[in-house]
Amino acid sequence: MFNRETYIGRRQQLTQKISNGIILLLGNGDSPMNYADNSYYFRQDSSFLYFFGLDFQNLAGVIDVDSGEVIIFGNDVDIEDVIWMGPQIALREKASQVGVLKTEPFKNLQDRIEKAISSGRKVHFLPPYRAENKLLLSDLLGISVSKLKAYSSVELIKSIISLRSVKEEQEISEIRKACAVGYQMHVTAMKMARAGVWEQTIAGTIEGIANSGGGMVSFPVILSQNGETLHNHDHSKTLQNGRLLLVDAGAELGSHYASDFTRTVPVSGKFTPKQREIYEIVLAANNRGRELTKPGSTYLSVHLAAAEVIASGLKAIGLMKGDVHDAVRNGAHALFMPHGLGHMLGLDVHDMEDLGQIYVGYDDEIRPVDQFGTAYLRMGRKLQPGFVITNEPGIYFIPALIEKWKAEKINTDFINFDRLADYLDFGGIRLEDDILITESGCEIIGDRIPVTPDEIEEVMR
- The residues binding ligand GLY (CB under 6 A) are 219, 248, 260, 343
Q: How far is the CB of 144 from ligand GLY (least distance, A)?
A: 31
- Applying CB under 5 A, among 390, 442, 445, 446 the residue interacting with Mn ion is 390
Position 171 contacts Mn ion (CB under 5 A):
no
Indicate whether 228 belongs to the interface with Mn ion (CB under 5 A). no
Number of chain positions touching Mn ion (CB under 5 A)? 2
Cβ–Cβ < 8 Å for 137, 109: no
Q: Name the nearest CA neighbour of 373 among 343, 410, 341, 337.
A: 337
Q: Which stretch binds Mn ion (CB under 5 A): 83-91, 211-219, 255-263, 309-317?
A: 255-263
Told to check if 218 binds Mn ion by CB under 5 A, we report no
* C-alpha triplet 45, 180, 225: angle, nearest 5°: 85
Q: Is 411 in the site for Mn ion (CB under 5 A)?
A: no
Q: How far is the CB of 400 from ligand GLY (least distance, A)?
A: 20
Nearest distance from C-beta of residue 340 to Mn ion, angstroms: 9
For ligand GLY, the closer CB: 39 or 229: 229
Q: Between residues 21 and 393, which has the closer beta carbon with respect to Mn ion?
A: 393
**Nearest to 121, CA basis, from 70, 157, 67:** 67
Write out the H or E segment, with its range, that includes residue 263: strand 261-266
Give the shortest CB-289-to-Mn ion separation in angstroms. Answer: 13
- What lies within 8 Å, CB to CB, of 356 at 6+ separation is 127, 157
Q: Which is nearer to ligand GLY, 100 or 181 (CB)?
A: 181
Distance CA 205, CA 161 (A): 35
User: By CB under 5 A, is residue 357 in contact with Mn ion?
Assistant: no
Instruction: Give the C-alpha separation, 228 to 397, whole Å.
Output: 6
Residue 45's binding partner among ligand GLY, Mn ion, none (Cβ under 5 to 8 angstroms by kind) is none
Name the residue nearer to ligand GLY (CB basis): 161 or 222.
Answer: 222
Residue 434 beta carbon to Mn ion: minimum distance, rounded to whole angstroms:
9
> If binding is defined by CB under 5 A, does position 434 make contact with Mn ion?
no
Confirm or reject binding of residue 260 to Mn ion (CB under 5 A): yes
- Nearer to ligand GLY by Cβ, of 233 and 274: the residue is 233
Question: Shortest gap between Cβ of 219 and ligand GLY (angstroms)?
Answer: 6
Which of ligand GLY, Mn ion, none sits in contact with 56, Cβ below 5 to 8 A by type? none
Residue 237 CB neighbours (<10 A): 15
CB closer to ligand GLY out of 219 and 417: 219
Which stretch, 6-14, 125-133, 277-285, 385-393, contacts Mn ion (CB under 5 A)? Answer: 385-393
Min separation Cβ 356 and Mn ion, Å: 18
* Ordered DSSP codes for 222-235: EEES-TTSTT----
Give the residue from 206, 275, 321 showing the smallest Cα distance to 426: 275
Instruction: Tell me how far apart the alpha carbons of residues 41 and 206 are, in angstroms, rounded to a whole number.
Output: 18
Pairwise CA distance, residues 347 & 357, whole Å: 15
Please list, in sequence order, all residues whose beta carbon lies within 8 angstroms of the beta carbon of residue 187, skipping any fewer than 6 positions away: 449, 450, 459
Q: How far is the CB of 369 from ligand GLY (least distance, A)?
A: 18
Q: Which CB atom, from 103 or from 390, has the smaller least distance to Mn ion?
A: 390
Separation in Å, CA 22 to CA 15, 17, 135, 355: 9, 12, 20, 18
2: left (phi over 0), alpha (psi -120 to 50) or beta: beta
Q: Which residues bind Mn ion (CB under 5 A)?
A: 260, 390
